[in-house]
Chains A and B, each alone.
Chain A
Amino acid sequence: MAMAAARRALLSHLRVPVAARPAAAIAAAAGSVRAARLLSSSVTEEGAKGSFLDKGEVADRIVSVVKNFQKVEPSKVTPNAHFQKDLGLDSLDTVEIVMAFEEEFGFEIPDNEAEKIDSIKTAVDFIASHPQAK
Chain B
Amino acid sequence: MAAAAAAAPTRAEVLSLFRSLLRTGRQFSDYNIREYTRRRAADAFRENRALGDAPAAAAFADGKKQLEVAKRQAVVYSLYAPKAKSIMEMKLQ
Q: Which residues of A contact B (CB under 8 A)?
A: 91-92, 95-96, 99, 103, 111, 114-115
Q: Does B79 contact A (CB under 8 A)?
A: no
Q: Which label, helix, strand, loop or mixed, suits the secondary structure of the A interface?
A: helix
A115 to B13 CA separation, bound complex (whole angstroms): 11
Q: Could you tell me which residues of chain B, from 14 to 44, have a CB within 8 Å of some CB in chain A?
A: 15-16, 18-19, 22-23, 26, 38, 42
B23 touches which of A91, A92, A99, A115 (Cβ 8 Å): A99
Interface size on B, residues (CB 8 A): 14
Which of the residues B11, B12, B42 comes within 8 Å of A96, measured between beta carbons?
B42
Q: How far is the CB of A90 from chain B (nearest CB, A)?
A: 8
Is B46 an interface residue when CB atoms closer than 8 A count as contact? yes
Q: Are B22 and A115 neighbours in the complex by a CB distance under 8 Å?
A: no
* Set of chain A residues within 8 Å of B19, measured between Cβ atoms: 95, 99, 111, 114
| Complex alpha-carbon distance, A94 and B19, angstroms | 10
Smallest CB separation, B50 vs chain A (Å) = 12
Which residues of chain B come closer than 8 Å to A91, judged between CB atoms?
Answer: 11, 15
- Is A95 a contact of B23 with CB atoms below 8 Å? no
- Quote the shortest CB–CB distance from A105 to chain B (angstroms): 14
